[in-house]
Amino acid sequence: MIYYRKDTDNIATLILDMSGRSGNLLNHEIVAAFAPVIEHLKQEKLAGKLNGVIITSAKQDFLESGDLDYLYQLNDPAKAFEASQQLKQFLRDLEVPGVPVAAAINGDALGTGFELTLACHYRIAVADSKMRLGHPEVKIGLIPSGGAVIRLMWLLGIERAYPLLLEGRRYSPQEALKVGLVDELAEDRTDMLRKAKKWLLAHHDVRRTWDDPDGEIPGGTAADPNLGHRIRLLTARLSAKTNDLYPAKLAIIDLLAEGSKLDFTTAYRLDSRYYARVATDPVTKNMISTYWFDKQAVRGGVGRPKGYGKFRARRMGVIGAGMMGSGIAFLCLRNGFEVILKDVSQPIADRGKDYIADKIDEYIERGTFQPEDREKLLNRITTTAKSDLFVDCDIVVEAVFENKSVKTKVTREAEEHLDEYAIFGTNTLSIPITELGRGSLRPENYVGLHFFLPAEKTAVVEVVKGEQTSDETVARAFDFAIAIRKLPIVVKDSWGFFAARVLNTYILEGVTMLNEGYPAALIENMGRQAGMKSGPLAMADDLGLKFVLRYEQQAADHYGKRYKQHPAVPALIKVKEELERSGKSKRAGFYEYEANGNSRLWSGLEKHFPVTKDDYDRLRMKHRFLFTQVIEAGWCLQEGVIEYIEAANLASVYGWGFPGYTGGVMRYIYSYGHENFLQRCEELKERYGQRFTVPRFIREIDLNRLTP
């Protein structure tokens, strides 16, 4: 569990090595194992036989986060408080044994794992850019449980600690050094241990800033009028951005403000109270369910056809050097692929490479990449206007203009140079994969790979299976997505696939409200207050009204006589055709767009859509926005467009921005209450029509399927 070694300089090295695990996990077992070790260290110090302690790991990772299975089941705030206090006491015992302690970080240290390093007096990390350090807890609705909020406040100050905790980023060692999470970098493990020992021998009498009677928080406390004002501004911005829907984010800024005005011991205990409240909040359970358990399920193969070996692509091609194609190319480069980037001319293809070079420079600036990585990455990309360079590519992805004939042309040109095992992926918004596949030389190897903008940042990709796409091709596309650190969501080739089909219902509901006489600004605000990343009218403009209408026409073709036109359609046709405002790409839609990129609701909207509503039921508006998406997702699951609830949840929160606090489209039913949801749908159906009819899948769903 913990190996103890002491050298002739009286430097003790503690090596973490949990048996039966691929990585070390900071749980009750390792805490219990540390207790006698810490007691022994104290005795050694008293006897004058200890000059310092190094903590490192025998595993590939330094230390993993806490036990989320246990935490998900934890509903008693008193128990959560006690668990936090126990962890804090363990870390406190570690940092106050009367000897200097250095963390020698040889692998990933995240969440609770990084809290152990913060309890050490010095942190040295191997300069491996693939390593990740920090506190990503907020990403799953949590705050650190071991006092990291308070320690980081004392180490960095409120204004530097706040973004580190709020963003929940995983930092490379180089980035971590820049932001102050580690103190020094080492070339390799040997250099790391040497530097740790050197520091320990030079620092015999160490004391944490918060244990020094004269110690101060860098930058001051919230009691300072100027800093207090800036904290209030940060709080207001957070509230405007999140609509106070995420308890963990609110807790971070509140705890920093309150804790800064207290002594360390009191603030340390206050931290446990905040943690207990957040850890047992229903929103936290929703987020853990989706952002952890559902994510692990998809990474583990949910949706991947079984019986096929792992596909290990090394060389890939991208057709189209625009923002999407260049983003895909950059994504593949940073994950070790050789990339061929093609466009209609060499200069256009080269512009795509320039875009990628700019991205690399951005990542170098913040420390994710190192300067020496620049040429290594750019040397792995070849730009061209010819398809013959696709020879030996394992996969080619086209990201050209949304036009069937153009896509068919570039597909055939590329396929002539591919072997029988290579797969071809099309990134299409609205053209059926089966239809496009008919133009392929090998339709069984043809698959949809729908990336979301920006391709290098969004977490999911839809893997769309056409009628002739083989299961093996789907499995290979799934593996490719995992290799570039995406979450592959396998969907059937149906109109709008899954993401666009469900998102469209949100847009249509917003346009319907406009037609009903609701003020446009209210509609947009209610969409954001429900938790969507932007209002429905803004999303309509971003997508383009032609696509909004195209999806609805595809729905009409799909359902035939059963189709009932959505009440938003006449208004959409009016805006697109009569008013000639087709969306953001034309700088004219529901919004008007200035040359500098600023936008505002079109001043002429009220003339064509008069405001007649003067009494608003805001909660009902929010429910209309969210319920219509949940219902459509239910139809998709019932029709087999998507087969797994885990995938539906992830696609919704990552793909189009369904509110993360709900845990996703299906998890929302669980948190709202199944019977309450059905009852509310009946009320909405009676008032607004058949589009609020609940599919059988949702009516008969086993609630156990909605929980981990």
Looking at residue 97, its pLDDT comes to 67
Looking at residue 419, its pLDDT comes to 92
Q: What is the pLDDT of residues 523-578, one digit of tens each?
A: 999 999 999 999 999 999 999 999 999 999 999 998 898 899 999 999 999 999 99
| pLDDT higher than 90, residue 369 | no
Same domain, 214 and 274: yes
Same domain, 436 and 506: no
Integer Cα distance of 612 and 120 in angstroms = 63
Same domain, 331 and 214: no
The residue-averaged pLDDT of 436-452 equals 96
496 in Cβ contact with 554 (< 8 Å): yes
**Is pLDDT larger for residue 416 or for residue 367?**
416
Same domain, 521 and 572: yes
The residue-averaged pLDDT of 625-638 equals 98
Compute how many other C-beta atoms are within 10 angstroms of the C-beta atom of residue 430.
18
Q: What is the pLDDT of residues 326-360, one digit of tens each?
A: 999 999 999 999 999 999 999 999 999 999 999 99
**Which amino acid, residue 224?**
D
493 in Cβ contact with 434 (< 8 Å): yes
Same domain, 465 and 443: yes
Q: What is the pLDDT of residues 388-401, one digit of tens each?
A: 999 999 999 999 98
Q: What is the pLDDT of residues 202-214, one digit of tens each?
A: 998 788 999 998 9
Integer Cα distance of 681 and 674 in angstroms = 11
Going by pLDDT thresholds of 50, 70 and 90, the confidence category of residue 39 is confident
The residue-averaged pLDDT of 26-32 equals 72
Domain ranges, residue 562: 499-706
- Phi/psi of residue 599, nearest 5 degrees: -140, 155
Looking at residue 703, its pLDDT comes to 85
| pLDDT higher than 70, residue 305 | yes
Going by pLDDT thresholds of 50, 70 and 90, the confidence category of residue 2 is confident
Same domain, 467 and 535: no
Integer Cα distance of 647 and 302 in angstroms = 8
| pLDDT higher than 80, residue 33 | no
For the chain, the average pLDDT equals: 94
Same domain, 406 and 547: no
Structural domain total, the chain: 3
Same domain, 524 and 623: yes
Domain boundary among 455, 490, 525: 490
Omega cis (within 30) before 454: yes
Q: Are strands 591-593 and 109-110 parallel, antiparallel or unpaired?
A: unpaired
| pLDDT higher than 90, residue 595 | no
CA-based end-to-end distance of the chain: 29
Same domain, 595 and 449: no
Integer Cα distance of 360 and 318 in angstroms = 18
Same domain, 476 and 599: no
The residue-averaged pLDDT of 472-487 equals 97
| pLDDT higher than 80, residue 122 | yes
Going by pLDDT thresholds of 50, 70 and 90, the confidence category of residue 24 is confident
Does residue 468 sit within a domain?
yes
Same domain, 482 and 508: no
For position 351, which CATH number holds? Answer: 3.40.50.720
| pLDDT higher than 90, residue 44 | no
Q: Are strands 591-593 and 599-601 parallel, antiparallel or unpaired?
A: antiparallel
For position 532, which CATH number holds? Answer: 1.10.1040.50
Helix axes 618-639, 520-529, angle to 10 degrees: 60
pTM of the model: 0.93
Domain boundary among 458, 490, 522: 490
Same domain, 484 and 516: no
For position 54, which CATH number holds? Answer: 3.90.226.10
Domain boundary among 490, 518, 551: 490
Looking at residue 96, its pLDDT comes to 79
